[in-house]
């Protein structure tokens, strides 16, 4: 079953009198439970594609389905609960709320859906990633690796079927980057989550079940790694 599908998706920006095409007629599907890496050099359209697939932005042309729901023309009011309950996000720059503790940052998406188990779920996730002693620390009191672990917990608290990760190790040194990647892969297996990860790293791409490579806004390769 396809949990995500893009059909002839394009994205064009108008700057002054110029039109810049960032994505050009991109089509592919993602199977439920798959670990897919979207790979390519800087400027190839990777992050733009992630924004479109997750409903954070709208395509100029084409259609996008998430779990058989066409999200292309959905209003923000319809997209917001879908993103909060069905989709998890992990970003390169963490995007933690500075005024909330680690525990409160993790709880936030669950509180939005009025989950009575928000506190217990957040505490269990902190324990799982080894940060239970950092529960009351604010983001400025955490290292980069710790911030990303908190961000991963926040992405997973609502048990999303689909997780998007945009260069999740990009702001980390190699040791912390490897630890975060390993954690993300372990949690994906434990929770049977579909993972779509954007990266320019060839090394990370080798760990995926499947790789789509973008070049100048088009798919120039779509292949499966030997497992």
pLDDT for 33: 94
Q: Which residues of the chain have pLDDT under 50?
A: none
pLDDT for 153: 97
Fold of 2-224: Rossmann fold (3.40.50)
pLDDT for 42: 84
pLDDT for 1: 80
pLDDT for 109: 95
Q: pTM for the full model?
A: 0.94
Model pLDDT for residues 83-100, shown as the tens digit of each residue: 888 999 999 899 999 999
pLDDT for 35: 96
pLDDT for 41: 86
Q: What is the DSSP secondary-structure string of the chain?
A: -EEEEEEEEEEEEEETTEEEEEEEEEEEEEETT-EEEEE--TTSSHHHHHHHHTTSS--SEEEEEETTEE-TT--HHHHHHHHHHHEEEEETT----TTS-HHHHHHHHHHHTT-TTHHHHHHHHHHHTT-GGGTT--GGGS-HHHHHHHHHHHHHTT--SEEEEESTTTTS-HHHHHHHHHHHHHHHHHHT-EEEEEES-HHHHTTSSEEEEEETTEEEEEEE---
């Amino acid at each position: 079953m396809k949990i995500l599908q893009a059909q002839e998706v394009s994205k064009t920006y108008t700057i002054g009198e110029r039109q810049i095409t960032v994505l050009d007629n991109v089509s592919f599907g993602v199977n439920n439970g798959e670990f897919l890496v979207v790979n390519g050099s800087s400027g190839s359209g990777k992050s733009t594609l992630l924004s479109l697939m997750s409903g954070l932005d709208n395509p100029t042309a084409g259609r996008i389905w998430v779990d058989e729901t066409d999200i292309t023309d959905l209003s923000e009011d319809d997209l917001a609960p879908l993103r909060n309950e069905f989709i998890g996000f992990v970003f390169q720059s963490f995007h933690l709320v500075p005024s909330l503790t680690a525990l409160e940052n993790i709880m936030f998406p669950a509180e939005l859906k009025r989950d009575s188990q928000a506190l217990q779920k957040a505490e269990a996730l902190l324990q799982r990633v080894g940060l239970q002693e950092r529960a009351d620390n604010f983001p400025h009191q955490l290292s980069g690796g710790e911030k990303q672990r908190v961000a991963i917990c926040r992405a997973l608290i609502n048990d999303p079927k689909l997780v998007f990760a945009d260069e999740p190790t990009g702001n980390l040194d190699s040791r912390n980057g490897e630890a975060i990647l390993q954690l993300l892969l372990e949690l994906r297996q434990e929770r049977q989550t579909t993972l779509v990860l954007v990266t320019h790293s060839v090394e990370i791409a080798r760990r995926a079940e499947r790789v789509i490579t973008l070049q100048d806004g088009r798919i120039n390769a779509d292949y499966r790694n030997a497992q």
